[in-house]
Each structure stands twice: as C-alpha cells, then as structure tokens.
Amino acid sequence: MADSKIFAPKTFAGVLAPVLTPFAADLSPDRRRFLAHCHWLLDEGINGLAVFGTTSEANSLSREERMELLEALVEDGVDSALLMPGTGCCAIPDTVRLTAHAVGLGCGGVLLLPPFYYKGVSDEGIFASVAETIERVGDARLRVYLYHIPPMAQVGYSLDLVERLRNRYPETVVGLKDSSGDWSNTAAILERFPGFATFVGSEAYLLDTLRGGGAGSITAAGNVNAAALRALYDAWQSPMADTLQAQVTAQRKVMQGYPLFAGLKAVLAAMRNDPDWNRLRPPLTALPAEQAAALIEELRRHDFPLAA
C-alpha cells in the first residue's frame, strides 16, 4: 500500500444515520432535499452520516450518482470526516472506484458490503475480495467498516473472517456494522474483538452494545429520530439510560411493523409536510396512504416527535 503522511481521524462512535435518498419526479436523486436532510441530521446531533447504505437505496443508485452526491455534500460544507459512505459492490473495480473516491474526499471511513450476488461463497473468496480492494486503493488513509447484513445480502462476515481481515490490515479494517438482527452475533463480536468499532444495526440494542464496549449504532431510524438517539448515546452511563432505551425501542418496534424504507420516508414526509419525500426508486414502492396514516398515528401514541 502507498505511504501517506495524512491519516484518517479516529474511528467513528455514536449514532450514525444511513441517510435516506430523496428522488425527484423523474426518479433522479434530489440533490437539494438530500443536502438539506444531511444538514438537519447533523444539527439534530447525529454523530455521522453513513450515506449510501441499505436504507439509502444505494444499490438502486449508479456509481456516478453516489459520487456526485458525495462530492455535493463536501462542497456544501459537510465535514468529510463525518462521512462513512457505503462502497461495497459486486464487482471489485466498482468497489475500488467508489472507495478510492471516498478516501480522496477525506471521508472518515467506508462501509463495505461483501460482494453479494453469488451466494454460498467461502470466507476465502470474501477475504480475497476485500484484500484486493484495499490493495488496489493503496492509501494509508483508508478506514474500512465491514457491513454484515445477511438478511439482505445473504453473504456476510464470519467471526473468523473478521479476525483474519483485522490481522492482515490492522490499521485499515477498524470496525463493523452488524445488521444481522441477531443480538447473540453482536455479543460474540464484542467479546471476541474488544476495542473494535462495532456498531449495531438496530437502536433497540444500542445500550447493550455500548455496555459491551461497542461504538454505537448505524440505524435507519436515525433519519427521523436523531435527537432521541443522540440523547440516549450521551446518557448511556446515566440512571436515565434504561428509560431512554425503552422509549426508542418501542418506537423502533412500531416502525418495524411496516416496510422500513417506505415507512421512514412516509414519516419524513409527514414531519416536513413534504409529500415528495414519499418517492422511492423502483422496484421499491411508496407506502399506501392508509398505511402511512396508521404508522403516523401509532408513532404519535408513542410520543414520537413529528415536527422537523
């Protein structure tokens, strides 16, 4: 790997949002709404922006669209050290291109899906893909957060594979997002890799993750509930922590009763009084009006803040 005197900042910690991507009527990314949403999230106290994650509909975006939006964020004054863009693709050249672009902009890290099209692949194959990406990028500033989401990708990072990657690239592979939905897997990661920046995918496990030595949560709900999640993170060692956790867990349970991406956009549309936020890029579709209304009503009953 190439030498560099410029290194990325310390590892991320706290609550990060996999930022929703708004779309215009022609289904192109809506740059204005995207930038405004990112600034609002930071104003609400979110600790970082994990743009182009699953919730962002990243795999419905072209490489060029991702790169243009990332450049727009930096040009619009967002500190690139707060950005953790998703860069993992099925093809190594695409992953390398997006990853090198993010590093060049000074992003604090990248969130790396394993190559996910072929199923049943070996740890050896995934290791080779990640290693090839790191070597081709060849930049000491690169910080990789492995993205483990087998419910969606059906391909993931086993604990043995995480250990091998950490041992081979200790300055580069610095963290992981566990979106397995299986707390026992998160607990095993925390126990086996102390000091590793482990993020849980659901804020329902945020307090448990922090108590286990983890870094925080990269959660879809951060798009609409950032202030409450930041309050929990800040107070996790206080007597109020369990009460705050119970509230955000109850709100998360409501949202999980609906298609998550469409539901989050429906909530944001209601918060902003902006129906254009309901738009998703096919094959995903918007939440039907009656379901959206039911979701909003349920959240109100759980004291969810519905004013942006």
Residue pair 254/302 in contact (Cβ under 8 Å)? The answer is yes
The whole-angstrom separation of Cα 240 and Cα 219 is: 21
Query: How confident is residue 10, by pLDDT bands cut at 50, 70 and 90?
Result: low
Residue pair 103/70 in contact (Cβ under 8 Å)? The answer is no
Tokens 């039907």 -> residue: 288
Tokens 């060692």 -> residue: 237
**Tell me: the pLDDT tens digits for 204-262?**
999 999 999 999 999 999 999 999 999 999 999 999 999 999 999 999 999 999 999 99
Query: How confident is residue 165, by pLDDT bands cut at 50, 70 and 90?
Result: very high
Query: How confident is residue 303, by pLDDT bands cut at 50, 70 and 90?
Result: confident
The pLDDT score that the predictor gives to residue 307 is 66
Query: Which CATH number, 3.20.20.70, 1.25.40.10, 3.40.50.300, 3.40.605.10, labels domain 14-239?
Result: 3.20.20.70
Contacts 24+ apart (CB under 8 A), 119-127: 119/154, 119/155, 121/155, 123/158, 123/160, 123/161, 123/164, 126/155, 126/157, 126/161, 127/161, 127/164, 127/165
DSSP-based three-state secondary structure for 197 = strand
Q: How many CB atoms lie within 10 A of CB 3?
A: 7
- The answer to whether residue 1 scores a pLDDT higher than 70 is no
DSSP-based three-state secondary structure for 39 = helix
Number of helices and strands (H, E) in the chain?
A: 12, 7
Query: How confident is residue 169, by pLDDT bands cut at 50, 70 and 90?
Result: very high
Tell me the residue type at 104.
Answer: G
- The answer to whether residue 22 scores a pLDDT higher than 70 is yes
**Tell me: the pLDDT tens digits for 134-158?**
999 999 999 999 999 999 999 999 9
Residue pair 280/237 in contact (Cβ under 8 Å)? The answer is no
Tell me the residue type at 136.
Answer: R
| Domain ranges across the chain | 14-239
Which whole number is the average pLDDT over 291-306?
Answer: 92
The pLDDT score that the predictor gives to residue 87 is 98
- The answer to whether residue 9 scores a pLDDT higher than 50 is no
- The answer to whether residue 7 scores a pLDDT higher than 80 is no
pTM comes to 0.94
Per-residue tokens: 300: 């109100």
**Tell me: the pLDDT tens digits for 32-87?**
999 999 999 999 999 999 999 999 999 999 999 999 999 999 999 999 999 999 99
- The answer to whether residue 4 scores a pLDDT higher than 90 is no
**Tell me: the pLDDT tens digits for 92-131?**
999 999 999 999 999 999 999 999 999 999 999 999 999 9
